[in-house]
Amino acid sequence: MLESAAPPPVRPVSPPKIQVRDLRVSFGAQEVIHGISFDVDRNDIFAIIGPAQSGKSTLLKCLNRTIELVPGARQSGEVVIDGVEVGKIPSVYSLRRRVGMVAPLPVGLPLSIFDNVAFAPRAAGFHDKQELAGLVERCLRQAALWDEVKDRLHTLGTKLSGGQQQRLTIARALSHEPEVLCLDEFSIAIDPVTTMRIEDVLKELKHHMTIVLVTNLVQQARRLAGRTMFLWNGEIIEEGATDVVFSEQPLSRKTYDYVNGIFG
């Protein structure tokens, strides 16, 4: 009599990197995010799409508490990273080192390329010249910028082209060695070729961190994201595997119309 084969081992399910529960955000009397809940898997690219004024950028600000810098903003609900509610993390600065943010338009510091990347590590007490040089090189390589600037590291970062400045901004965010990288429409002011180069960078970076990507280019979400969320007027219309969101039969007709350019 043949013995039955042993069942395959059950792989443990990794808990989400980010959990958002009943998040509401208001500016004055106007509520702009209406009680949304979702999870972000670790080591994934999670895309957020939707028309202008849907609350996408506001949502990103809640992940590292930069929403607290917006006058009149009020927030309720929970944002949890690795099981800890971000509002209960004693040091907001330590949180923002863990959750890096890249703005839509590159904002270079009026410093050299080297000092742009080295600024945050130095502020955190990192001063060994050799180790600092290694960190700067690593971040510039991760941002696909090293080969273009390695011979002019001490020229002003603001002299770079728009696409190069955007990659410099990403390198500066990486200097914190973040666990989560939030990108807010990084391709809004750069050419398609540079956009594709940065997309290749993100595909590599997701092996080392979790990426939350707000994009106004729906096909960019399709190319990059494991999961996509369609946000409209502060509400989640649909959230799920990207291939389902972009299929011929998503859960919502609004999703189909938006990703196919019928509105938005």
Spatial separation of the C-alpha atoms in residues 175 and 180, rounded to whole Å: 13
Per residue in 44-56, pLDDT tens? 999 999 999 999 9
How does the average pLDDT of the chain come out, rounded? 91
Burial class for 175, CB neighbours closer than 10 Å (0-12, 13-18, 19+):
buried
Q: Which amino acid is at 113?
A: I
Per residue in 65-120, pLDDT tens? 999 999 999 999 999 999 999 999 989 989 999 999 998 877 778 999 999 999 98
**What is residue 243's predicted lDDT score, i.e. its pLDDT?**
96
Q: Is residue 223 a contact partner of residue 259, using CB atoms and an 8 Å limit?
A: no
Under CATH, which architecture does the 18-106+177-259 domain have?
Answer: 3-Layer(aba) Sandwich (3.40)
- 177 Rama class: left (phi>0) / alpha (psi -120 to 50) / beta: left
Contacts of 3 (CB under 8 A, 6+ apart): none
Domain spans in the chain, listed from the N-terminal domain onward: 18-106+177-259
Of 41-45, 105-109, 201-205, 230-234, give the lowest mean pLDDT range: 105-109
